[in-house]
């Protein structure tokens, strides 16, 4: 099962890289300043603040809702704070965004998001099929480096399709199994700017996620993260936002 998933992820990754290389070699139309994206399609503009509501299905296969604030003191490195709750799970996260590459045509973006935080989870959910029951009681700290490749398109590059892969390392000194490691070989997502001045962003993504150092107490982590979404609003403390020509 794991070999199949690994092989599939390698094939999908190779196809995706081939597509973005071909796409980026065709540079037609006007070159715009780097477009602003609040999720994984890119970076927000220097001086902006992004407030948002997003979901994460990693922990219970049901949505955990997170409220956050992202700050942009530069175009290359940005940070965010967020906190939220789901079905008996509570999270507090600190995120750092890195711009690794942005093509001159703005069609291709490569980035790294380092997500670290604190988790307190006491979730117990039963299903008709008992192998999917969730019975987790774990307080831990974790970190997840997430690599993203995005393609932007549209007249002002207001649309983005992205691919993300990541590991999550979950550590707890109070449990027999101190370190749990999870892997997501593929998350595919879409992000769009909209609004009068394109101050709003909407994003959704879907992917798979599973443990690689042994299955925890239940097998729910074998479910795909069926659907995550986020709604974002950007502000500039110094000037009103305007659509970039």
Q: Give, for all 245 residues of the chain, the pLDDT tens digit.
A: 444 444 555 555 555 555 554 444 434 333 335 689 999 999 999 999 999 999 988 876 677 899 999 999 999 999 999 999 988 889 999 999 999 999 989 999 999 999 999 998 876 666 665 555 566 778 899 999 999 999 999 988 999 999 999 999 999 877 666 888 888 898 999 999 999 888 999 999 998 887 887 655 555 555 555 688 999 999 886 665 666 55
Count: domains in the chain: 1
CATH of the domain at 73: 2.40.128
Domain presence at residue 83: yes
Domain presence at residue 245: no
Domain presence at residue 244: no
Domain housing 131: 2-27+35-236
| SS3 letters across the chain | CHHHHHHHHHHHHHHHHHHHHHHHHCCCCCCCCCCECCCCCCECCCCEEEEEEEEECCCCCCCEEEEEEEECCCCCEEEEEEEEECCCEEEEEEEEEEEEEECCCCCEEEEEEEEEEEEEEEEEECCCCHHHCEEEEEEEEEEEEEEEEEEEECCCCCEEEEEEEEEEEEECCCCCCCEEEEEEEEEEEEEEEECCCCCEEEEEEEEEEEECCCCCCCCHHHCCEEEEEEEEEEEECCCCCCCCC
Domain presence at residue 118: yes
């Amino acid at each position: 099962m794991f070999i199949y998933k690994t092989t599939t992820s390698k094939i999908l990754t190779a196809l995706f890289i081939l597509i973005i290389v071909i796409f980026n070699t065709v540079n037609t139309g006007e070159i715009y300043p780097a477009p602003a994206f609040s999720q994984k399609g890119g970076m927000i503009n220097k001086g902006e603040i992004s407030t948002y509501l997003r979901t994460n299905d990693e922990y219970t296969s049901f949505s955990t809702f997170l409220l956050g604030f992202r700050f942009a003191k530069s175009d290359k490195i940005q940070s965010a704070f967020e906190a939220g709750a789901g079905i008996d799970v509570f999270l507090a996260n600190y995120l750092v965004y890195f711009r690794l590459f942005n093509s001159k045509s703005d069609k291709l973006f490569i980035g790294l998001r380092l997500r670290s935080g604190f988790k307190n989870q006491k979730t117990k959910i039963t299903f008709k099929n008992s192998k999917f029951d969730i019975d987790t009681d774990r307080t831990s700290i974790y970190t997840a480096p997430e690599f993203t490749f995005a393609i932007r398109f549209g007249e002002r590059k207001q649309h983005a399709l992205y691919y993300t892969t990541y590991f999550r390392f979950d550590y707890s000194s109070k449990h027999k199994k101190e370190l749990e490691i999870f892997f997501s070989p593929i998350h595919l997502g879409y992000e769009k700017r909209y609004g009068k001045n394109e101050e709003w962003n909407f994003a959704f993504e879907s992917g798979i996620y599973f443990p690689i150092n042994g299955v925890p107490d239940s097998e729910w982590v074998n479910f795909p993260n069926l659907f995550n979404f986020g709604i974002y609003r950007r502000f500039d403390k110094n000037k009103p936002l305007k659509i970039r020509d």
